[in-house]
């Protein structure tokens, strides 16, 4: 479960915030800048919150049942989601460094709600590269499904199957898509809340 936001904040070691490759001041991130960007966003609040939501759903569905119910098993499920996220990020970064993916999320240029949601979902699997073009998000697929496979090692044996790993990895992709939608509309929500006061 990787979450990405828009460009890094302006500093002497990082490029200025832009609205994407169409912006005249846009520039690709170096490997060092990618590492700094990923590290700063590793423990974003939304990632921690989504791990808790995932653990809550597992608790409601009693997955895995062998862990039982109650606060202790919930903490175990929560730690499992955080561990899966840490593995995901550990896989994603080297892939991004090798294939020149730019994982920053740039908000959609579309005006319609449906178009913006579509772009947010698409950005999960189709991203900018270092030249400003588009490419498949190899790091997303390798990170999500790789983390799903490795994290199932501490789950009961019946979850060590291809179908269980596929479902877990696909769930992570959907969660990451949801985070992109949140980032797409967060400025509008903040502006609306401000105006509502």
DSSP for 92-143, please give it. HHHHHHHHTEE---------SHHHHHHHHHHHHHEEEETTS-EEE-HHHHHH
10 inside domain: no
pLDDT at 148 over 90: yes
pLDDT at 84 over 60: yes
Q: At 120, is the pLDDT very low, low, confident or very high (cuts 50, 70, 90)? A: very high
82 inside domain: yes
**Maximum average pLDDT range among 98-107, 143-152, 172-181:** 143-152
* Nearest CA among 107, 122, 133 for reference residue 28: 133
> Which residues 6+ apart lie within 8 Å of 68 measured at CB?
none
Do 160 and 143 touch, CB atoms closer than 8 A?
no
Residue 48's pLDDT is 83
Q: Write out pLDDT tens, residues 101-116.
A: 888 888 888 999 999 9
* The dihedral sign for the CA sequence 25, 17, 14, 137: negative
Do 124 and 173 touch, CB atoms closer than 8 A?
yes
Do 160 and 53 touch, CB atoms closer than 8 A?
no
Tokens standing for residue 134: 């588009």
How many whole angstroms separate alpha carbon 80 and alpha carbon 177? 21
85 inside domain: yes
6 inside domain: no
Report the percent of the chain where pLDDT is more than 70. 85
179 inside domain: yes
Q: Write out pLDDT tens, residues 91-100.
A: 998 998 888 8
157 inside domain: yes
Residue 10's pLDDT is 36
13 inside domain: no
Residue 25's pLDDT is 57
Q: Write out pLDDT tens, residues 7-28.
A: 433 333 434 344 566 665 567 7
Range of the structural domain that residue 40 is part of = 31-196
**For the chain, what is the domain count?**
1
Residue 19's pLDDT is 55
Residue 7's pLDDT is 40
How many whole angstroms separate alpha carbon 98 and alpha carbon 3? 20
Q: What is the mean pLDDT of the chain?
A: 83
Q: Give the count of alpha carbons within 13 A of 92, CB side only.
A: 31
What is the pLDDT averaged over residues 32-54?
Answer: 80
């Amino acid at each position: 479960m990787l979450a990405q936001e828009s460009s890094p904040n302006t500093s002497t070691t990082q490029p200025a915030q832009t609205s994407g490759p169409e912006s005249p001041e846009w520039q690709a991130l170096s490997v060092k800048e990618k590492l700094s960007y990923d590290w700063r966003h590793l423990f974003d609040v939304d990632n921690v919150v989504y791990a808790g939501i995932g653990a809550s759903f597992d608790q409601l569905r009693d997955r895995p049942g062998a862990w039982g119910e109650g606060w202790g098993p919930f903490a175990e499920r929560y730690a499992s989601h955080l561990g899966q996220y840490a593995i995901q990020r550990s896989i994603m970064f080297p892939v991004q460094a090798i294939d020149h993916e730019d994982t920053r999320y740039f908000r959609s240029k579309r005006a319609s709600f449906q178009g913006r949601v579509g772009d947010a979902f698409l950005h999960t699997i189709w991203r900018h590269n270092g030249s400003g073009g588009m490419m498949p998000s190899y790091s997303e697929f390798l990170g999500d499904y790789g983390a799903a496979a490795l994290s199932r090692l501490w789950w009961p044996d019946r979850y060590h199957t291809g179908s269980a790993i596929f479902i877990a990895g696909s769930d992570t992709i959907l969660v990451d898509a949801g985070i992109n939608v949140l980032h797409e509309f967060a400025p509008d929500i903040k502006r609306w809340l401000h105006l509502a006061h």
